[in-house]
Amino acid sequence: MSLADKTPPTNIRDEFGVVVAMQAKTTVEQLSPENTEAMAIQDGLNFARDRGFRIAEVECDSLRVIQSLKSDLCCAPNASVLLNIISSLREVSSGSCRFIPH
């Protein structure tokens, strides 16, 4: 399995930064780095919603994904995934996404 087959893990932390839930996932799809990050956010939000977590903020190390989420999405090649993320953010009581460089 190549690195392209692994999506970034989902870590859900409490207000003190302690990990309270974690998810890891592999996929057979070959996605671009941006789509991999976007899918990881979407999967993480679904994971949080299914377990009843309320999310205050989503952090991501892909500046392009964060910029896309905050811009006009209609022309983005992964617009449907980004729109799903925005919808999921509303479901888990969050509207905030932030770039975290690694």
CA distances from 52 to 17, 48, 62, 75, 89 (A): 18, 6, 26, 33, 13
- Transcribe 1-33 into DSSP letters: --GGGBPPPEEEE-TTS-EEEEE--B-S----H
| pLDDT score at 67 | 86
pTM reported for the whole predicted model = 0.71
Strand partners, 13: 19
Q: How far apart are CA 69 and CA 48, in angstroms?
A: 19
> Which pLDDT score, from 0 to 100, does residue 4 have?
46
**Confidence (pLDDT) at 60:** 85
- 38-64 pLDDT, tens digit per residue, is 888 888 888 888 888 888 888 888 888
pLDDT at 71: 79
40: its two tokens: 């990881």
Residues of the chain falling short of pLDDT 70? 1-7, 28, 72-76, 93-95
